[in-house]
Amino acid sequence: MKAYEFFDKVPKFGRLVIIEGTERALADRALALAIDRLLDPSERDLNLDRFVASECGSFDGVAGSLAALPFLGSRRVVVVRGAHELRVDPRRALIAVAERAPEGNVLVIEDLVSPASKRPEPLGKALGRAALRIDCSPGADARARFLRETLDELGVSAEPAAIAALIESDGDLAALRTDLEKLALGGTTIGLQDVMNEILVTEDVRAYQFASAAVAGRAADALALAHELFSSDPRGAAVPLLAALAAEYGLVWEVARVGGVLPGRAKWRERELRTVARAIGERRARAGFERAVRGFEAVVTGRADDPRIVVELATIAGAHA
């Protein structure tokens, strides 16, 4: 069961619940909601036990809590967090305890590994149909839903292209929320340019090397780097490449125009950027920036049939402008 399916519906609870997948924000919400549905607030002090997996020398305490009768309530709930941090033997020991969990009480285990993981094997897979598995994976649908809900909470809207870019951006949902809170301070509508300036980053240094080469007019070098990224990520490479290209052109445009001021994060590159700005000028820098932004928007909104061609055209056009 996907996380948002669990949020929207009330499934039948058995004796085992496994919260899996790697998105912490969704897992925290799923755990809180599971406890809310399993125990009335008036029962929790007496019938809720919490354990941290890595702090359990053995799982005898977990087994003991599961075996105890509920006190003035309908069931006991035992929560074990951080099972994904356990090594092989402790994971097997926890599985053994889970397999012996009695009917009536509920064991909830947080095991933040992908349901498709091979090593470690998800506890939910090992426990089979006895467990209700809640998949808190960071898929595009979950990211889109989280984004819409957060925008509503913050009382702001976002342009369609900005929403598409945010869905494609790196980082977990907690980081996404922090970014949205920061962007919301700037006004009631978040635009694509806001997202590109403040959020879109990549850990792959090749994207920045590509952008630097492209803006400096070294198209062959830039395309070789772009092809490397596409070979390792055919579907997703265009987004960081075009974001880096727009950012690089934006910096050069800033230093080329009268009164332009570089952001603090780019001050260390001022000499290099001014050299490029003198070579291409304000007009070409602005045109390159706008071209990269249009290409980026086409890719993230799905209007581009072939993202690779978009990147190539933006690169070559800049070199021959």
319 has pLDDT over 80? no
What's the mean pLDDT in 71-76?
88
**Same-domain pairing of 70 and 39:** yes
**CA nearest to 260, candidates 276, 282, 278:** 282
Lowest mean pLDDT among 42-51, 144-153, 207-216, 311-320: 311-320
Last residue of a domain, one of 90, 110, 135: 135
The two tokens of residue 231 are: 């070979």
> What pLDDT score does 48 carry?
96
**Same-domain pairing of 76 and 149:** no
- State the DSSP H helix or E strand holding residue 48, giving kind and residue range, or none if neither: strand 48-52
pTM, two decimals, is: 0.75
CB 78 within 8 A of CB 49: yes
Residue 10 to residue 34: CA distance in whole angstroms? 9
> What pLDDT score does 200 carry?
66
**Same-domain pairing of 40 and 123:** yes
Q: How many domains does the chain have?
A: 3
Residue 287 to residue 142: CA distance in whole angstroms? 36
Chain mean pLDDT for the chain: 91
Model confidence pLDDT, tens digit, residues 79-125 = 999 999 999 999 999 999 999 999 999 999 999 999 999 989 999 99
Residue 248 to residue 217: CA distance in whole angstroms? 12
The two tokens of residue 312 are: 């190539």
Last residue of a domain, one of 177, 198, 219: 198
**CA nearest to 229, candidates 203, 249, 255, 250:** 203
**CATH number of residue 93's parent domain:** 3.40.50.300
> What pLDDT score does 201 carry?
65
Could you tell me the residue range of the domain that residue 171 belongs to? 140-198
Q: Which of 176-185, 222-231, 243-252, 259-268 has the highest mean pLDDT?
A: 222-231
Residue 8 to residue 238: CA distance in whole angstroms? 34
**CATH number of residue 176's parent domain:** 1.10.8
> What pLDDT score does 8 carry?
96
pLDDT-derived band at 203, boundaries 50, 70, 90: low
Length of the chain: 321
Dihedrals phi, psi of 275, to nearest 5 degrees = -60, -45
Residue 137 to residue 114: CA distance in whole angstroms? 7
> What pLDDT score does 165 carry?
82
CB 202 within 8 A of CB 175: no
pLDDT-derived band at 140, boundaries 50, 70, 90: confident
Lowest mean pLDDT among 9-13, 156-160, 199-203, 253-257: 199-203
**Same-domain pairing of 82 and 66:** yes
- Name the more confident of 49 and 193: 49
- CA 152 to chain CA mean position, Å: 19
**Same-domain pairing of 124 and 215:** no
**CA nearest to 312, candidates 214, 233, 246:** 214
Q: What is the DSSP string of 65-110?
A: HHHSPPSSSS--EEEEE-GGG--HHHHHHHHHHHHTPPTTSEEEEE
Query: What's 268's DSSP letter?
Result: G
**Same-domain pairing of 223 and 277:** yes
Residue 251 to residue 41: CA distance in whole angstroms? 54
**Same-domain pairing of 45 and 159:** no
**Same-domain pairing of 128 and 147:** no
Q: Radius of gyration over alpha carbons of the chain, in Å?
A: 25
Last residue of a domain, one of 170, 198, 226: 198
235 has pLDDT over 70? yes
CB 226 within 8 A of CB 245: no
196 has pLDDT over 90? no
**Same-domain pairing of 171 and 281:** no
- State the DSSP H helix or E strand holding residue 206, giving kind and residue range, or none if neither: helix 205-215
Residue 17 to residue 308: CA distance in whole angstroms? 43
**Same-domain pairing of 152 and 231:** no
